[in-house]
């Protein structure tokens, strides 16, 4: 009996293996393995990267970013004019664009979408919660329809990054008719104008997008884009190596060398705007001394962390902005190479030749946090060599975020800004307007920096803006409110059959120009 049963099981397994063994993938459908499934497909409610990576195929904003950079190019608006006082933006909209449900795209639709979030008396306000309404739409005074293809937005105050905000998903445009029809369930019924439209979403299993043949920019070459969630890094590695999926990210760093030698896959790497740093509490009795903070910067061996833990998937950070920011990135800042003698000398100067003790807050994992515990262990050992005893306290991400904003001595953080503007990195994290519960967790305050960053926010002319941010970086790096550790690279692995793929600095996976061999 036992033997018969076992034989039956073996047969069953064999049957499954034979019938299930993957057939050759279709020539015009590609599979993307994401870290998790999307949370929501309602643009103004999106806060996570997985949702953004899918919905940015479905929806568009008035303004778009050129593939591969933060340069702004026309999106649903063909052109725009900014009034002399910097307060009125007039957009000429693209004619003959329709939403995926066939309804027309026009100025009224844009007004409807912004109004939904801005006006809590609007009948559609209650169809969602809008995490970014204050940050990104808070400065809008009015949205007016001039004619069906002309829209005028008036701001309360000048705000330089506003055009970049319009390229963010929270200001994307969706079909008003779809929202009226689905109400709160709009989260799973996305209707946009983009190159792809939603075909099916099986929760936890996959999201299937099909190309929009009537796309104004020309239909994409790929007929179907299928997104599957693969939570475990090892499983993503297996899936990309066996060709179950065509494109993925975040495989175990140890496997990258092997992947680079694999003739069937391409490992694409590029610098990103992300910053990984340790916020230092500038109000702490010891850390308030700039020399101490500089000493900590000298004491950490960033090259070793990048080489041994991150396996080369990052570059050393010399300040808050990575080189991705182009003209805004300042190269000639004070450098903090690994230099124990300098660190010791600075500590001695500051009156702590024997070192001191600190609590070091570390998350177990978390969005963009790379290898937080391993990195903390190395940093702890580095600091110990100059006599600074950092006691590591590890927390789960949700609890960590709370503790992070309660004035820890020193705490790890990583920030991958969704807006391609230096303001979104520097003002958000280092202005004294942004003390906790906002994200300047170390209470860094320098009047000159505050002044430069506030000026930067309101200076619309790029030529006049660039020097402000470059100057601010010099001051900030010298003040060392953080231990500047690294800027993570984005690493995307894809099968050779995927052609024309290009990385975008904000981690988006653009598929419009991709074709399959």
Please say which residue, 15 or 478, places its beta carbon nearer to another protein.
15
Please say which residue, 180 or 288, places its beta carbon nearer to another protein.
180
Binding to another protein in span 188-247, by CB under 8 A: 188, 202-206, 226, 228-232, 234-239, 241-242, 244-245
Please say which residue, 239 or 466, places its beta carbon nearer to another protein.
239
Binding map of another protein across residues 301-340, x = CB under 8 A, - = no contact: ----------------------------------------
| Calpha distance 99→197 (Å, rounded) | 10
Please say which residue, 26 or 102, places its beta carbon nearer to another protein.
26
Told to check if 415 binds another protein by CB under 8 A, we report yes
Taking CB under 8 A as the criterion, the residue among 20, 123, 263, 354 binding another protein is: 20
Told to check if 402 binds another protein by CB under 8 A, we report yes
Please say which residue, 41 or 333, places its beta carbon nearer to another protein.
41
To another protein, the closest distance from the beta carbon of 7 in angstroms equals 11
Binding map of another protein across residues 336-375, x = CB under 8 A, - = no contact: -------------------------------x--------
| Calpha distance 268→280 (Å, rounded) | 34
Taking CB under 8 A as the criterion, the residue among 424, 465, 470, 495 binding another protein is: 424
Residue 462 Cα distances to 147, 343, 422, 459, 466, angstroms: 30, 38, 11, 8, 6
The two tokens of residue 225 are: 């884009």
Told to check if 398 binds another protein by CB under 8 A, we report yes
On the question of a cis peptide bond just before residue 403, with omega within 30 degrees of 0, the verdict is no
Binding map of another protein across residues 70-109, x = CB under 8 A, - = no contact: ----------------------------------------
Q: At what angle do helices 462-479 and 290-299 cross, to 10 degrees?
A: 90
Tally helices (H) and strands (E) across the chain: 16, 20
DSSP 474-502: HHHHHH--EEEEEEEEEEEEEETTEES--
Told to check if 156 binds another protein by CB under 8 A, we report no
Told to check if 17 binds another protein by CB under 8 A, we report yes
The two tokens of residue 18 are: 């034979």
Please say which residue, 216 or 397, places its beta carbon nearer to another protein.
397
To another protein, the closest distance from the beta carbon of 337 in angstroms equals 28
Taking CB under 8 A as the criterion, the residue among 96, 437, 447, 517 binding another protein is: 437
To another protein, the closest distance from the beta carbon of 482 in angstroms equals 13
Rounded to 5 degrees, φ, ψ at 221 are -80, -30
Please report, in angstroms and rounded to a whole number, the separation of the first and last CA atoms in the chain: 52
Taking CB under 8 A as the criterion, the residue among 147, 185, 357, 462 binding another protein is: 185
Told to check if 134 binds another protein by CB under 8 A, we report yes
To another protein, the closest distance from the beta carbon of 152 in angstroms equals 26
The two tokens of residue 115 are: 């109004």
Told to check if 157 binds another protein by CB under 8 A, we report no
To another protein, the closest distance from the beta carbon of 324 in angstroms equals 17
The two tokens of residue 344 are: 């010791």
| Calpha distance 477→417 (Å, rounded) | 19
Half-sphere exposure of 297 (CA within 13 A, CB side): 28
Q: Which residue bears the tokens 């990103």?
A: 272
What burial class does residue 120 get, using C-beta atoms within 10 Å of its C-beta: 0-12 exposed, 13-18 middle, 19+ buried? exposed
To another protein, the closest distance from the beta carbon of 145 in angstroms equals 27
Q: How many residues bind another protein (CB under 8 A)?
A: 78
| Calpha distance 31→34 (Å, rounded) | 10
DSSP-based three-state secondary structure for 364: coil
Told to check if 381 binds another protein by CB under 8 A, we report no
Residue 70 Cα distances to 40, 77, 262, 328, 430, angstroms: 25, 17, 32, 12, 22
| Calpha distance 157→214 (Å, rounded) | 38
Binding to another protein in span 255-274, by CB under 8 A: none
| Calpha distance 175→196 (Å, rounded) | 14
To another protein, the closest distance from the beta carbon of 183 in angstroms equals 11
To another protein, the closest distance from the beta carbon of 437 in angstroms equals 5
């Amino acid at each position: 009996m036992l033997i018969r049963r076992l034989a039956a099981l073996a047969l069953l397994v064999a049957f499954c293996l034979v019938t299930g063994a993957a057939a050759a993938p279709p020539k015009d459908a590609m599979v993307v393995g994401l870290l998790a499934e999307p949370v929501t497909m309602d643009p103004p409610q999106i806060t996570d990267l997985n949702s953004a990576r899918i919905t940015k195929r479905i929806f568009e904003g008035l303004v778009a970013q050129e593939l591969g950079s933060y340069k702004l190019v026309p999106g649903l608006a063909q052109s725009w004019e900014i009034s002399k006082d910097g307060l009125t933006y007039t957009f000429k909209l693209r004619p003959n664009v329709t939403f995926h449900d066939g309804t027309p795209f026009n100025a009224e639709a844009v007004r409807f979408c912004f109004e939904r979030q801005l006006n809590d008396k609007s009948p559609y306000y209650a169809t969602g919660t809008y995490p970014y309404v204050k940050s990104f739409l808070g400065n809008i005074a009015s949205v007016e329809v001039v004619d069906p293809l002309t829209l005028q937005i008036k701001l309360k105050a000048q705000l330089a990054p506003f055009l970049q905000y319009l390229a963010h998903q929270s200001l994307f445009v969706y079909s008003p008719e779809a929202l009226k029809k689905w109400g709160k369930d709009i989260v799973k019924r996305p209707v946009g104008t983009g190159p792809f439209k939603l075909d099916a979403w099986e929760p936890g299993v996959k999201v299937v997008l099909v190309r929009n043949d009537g796309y104004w920019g020309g239909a994409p070459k790929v007929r179907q884009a299928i997104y599957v969630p693969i939570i475990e890094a090892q499983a993503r590695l297996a899936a990309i190596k066996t060709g179950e999926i065509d494109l993925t990210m975040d495989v175990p760093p140890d496997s990258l060398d092997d992947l680079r030698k694999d003739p069937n896959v391409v490992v694409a790497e590029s610098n990103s705007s992300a910053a990984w740093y340790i916020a230092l509490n500038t109000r702490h009795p010891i850390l308030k001394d700039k020399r101490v903070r500089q000493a900590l910067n000298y004491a950490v061996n960033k090259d070793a962390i990048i080489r041994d833990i991150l396996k080369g998937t990052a570059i050393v950070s010399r300040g808050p902005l990575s080189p991705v920011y182009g003209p805004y990135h300042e190269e000639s800042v004070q450098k903090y190479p690994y230099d124990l003698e300098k660190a010791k000398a600075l500590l001695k100067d500051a009156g702590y030749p024997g070192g001191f003790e600190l609590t070091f807050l570390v998350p177990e994992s978390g969005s963009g946090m790379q290898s937080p515990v391993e990195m903390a262990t190395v940093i702890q050992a580095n600091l110990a060599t100059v006599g600074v005893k950092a006691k590591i306290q590890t927390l789960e991400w949700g609890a960590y975020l709370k503790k992070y904003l309660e004035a820890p001595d020193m705490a790890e953080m990583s920030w991958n800004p969704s807006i391609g503007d230096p303001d979104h990195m520097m003002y958000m994290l280092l202005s004294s307007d942004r003390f906790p519960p906002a994200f300047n967790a170390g209470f860094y305050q320098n009047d000159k920096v505050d002044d430069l960053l506030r000026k930067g926010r309101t200076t619309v002319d790029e030529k006049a803006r660039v020097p402000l941010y470059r100057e601010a970086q010099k001051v900030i790096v010298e003040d060392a409110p953080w231990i500047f550790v690294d800027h993570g690279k984005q690493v995307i692995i894809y099968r050779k059959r995927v052609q024309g793929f290009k990385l975008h600095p904000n981690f988006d996976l653009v598929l419009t120009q991709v074709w399959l061999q």
